[in-house]
Amino acid sequence: MGPVKQFNNIPYGRQHITDEDIAAVAEVLRGPFLTQGPHIGAFETAFSNYIGCQYSIAVANGTAALHLCCMALGVTEGTRVITTPITFSASANCVRYCGGDVFFADIDPATALLDINAVRTLIEKHPKGYFSGIIPVDFAGYPVDMAAFRELADEHGLWLLEDSCHSPGGSFTDTKTIDHRCGDGSLADLAIFSYHPVKHIAAGEGGMITTNNEALYKHLLRLRTHGITNKPAEFTEPYPGEPERGGWYMELQELGYNYRLTDMQAALGNSQLTRVDAMLARRQQIAKRYDDAFAGTSVTTIIPPASVTHAYHLYVIQVADRKGLYDSLRTQNIMAQVHYIPVHLMPYYRQFGWKPGDFPNAEHYYARCLSLPMFPTLTDDEQTFVIDSVLAYCQ
Q: What is the pLDDT of residue 236?
A: 65
List per-residue pLDDT tens for the chain, 395 residues long: 444 567 889 999 999 999 999 999 999 999 999 888 999 999 999 999 999 999 999 999 999 999 999 999 999 999 999 999 999 999 999 999 999 999 999 999 999 999 999 999 999 999 999 999 999 999 999 999 999 999 999 999 999 999 999 999 999 999 999 999 999 999 999 999 999 999 999 999 999 999 999 999 999 999 999 999 887 776 567 777 676 777 888 889 999 999 999 999 999 999 999 999 999 999 999 999 999 999 999 999 999 999 999 999 999 999 999 999 999 999 999 999 999 999 999 999 999 999 999 999 999 999 999 999 999 999 999 999 999 999 999 98
pLDDT computed for residue 235 by the predictor: 58
- Is the distance from CB of 33 to CB of 394 less than 8 angstroms? no
**CA–CA separation, 266 vs 38, rounded Å?**
9
pLDDT computed for residue 152 by the predictor: 98
In angstroms, the CA 240 to CA 249 distance is 13
The pLDDT, as a whole number, for residue 102 is: 98
How far is CA 301 from each of CA 139, 144, 319, rounded to the nearest angstrom?
14, 17, 9
CA distances from 58 to 178, 206, 275 (A): 28, 7, 19
Residue tagged active-site, from 5, 125, 128, 199: 199
Q: Where are the domains of the chain?
A: 19-273, 276-394
Q: Rounded CA gap, 298 and 133, in Å?
A: 39
pLDDT attached to residue 1: 43
The CA-atom distances, in angstroms, between 27 and each of 40, 182, 202, 262 are 14, 31, 18, 13
Taking alpha carbons only, the member of 189, 179, 84 closest to residue 139 is: 84
The CATH number of 19-273, from 3.40.640.10, 1.10.3720.10, 3.40.50.1110, 3.40.50.450, is 3.40.640.10
From the CA atom positions of the chain, what is the Rg in Å? 22
Q: Which fold has domain 276-394?
A: Aspartate Aminotransferase, domain 1 (3.90.1150)
Q: Which long-range contacts (CB under 8 A, 24 or more apart) does 383-388 make?
A: 383/286, 383/289, 383/290, 385/3, 385/5, 385/7, 385/10, 385/332, 385/334, 386/10, 386/329, 386/334, 387/289, 387/290, 387/293, 387/294, 388/2, 388/3
Beta bridge partners of 55: 211
CA distance linking residue 386 with residue 18, whole number of Å: 25
Residue pair 72/223 in contact (Cβ under 8 Å)? The answer is yes
For residue 262, the 8-state DSSP code is P
**Residue 199 annotated among the catalytic residues of the structure:** yes
> pTM, whole model, 2 decimals?
0.96
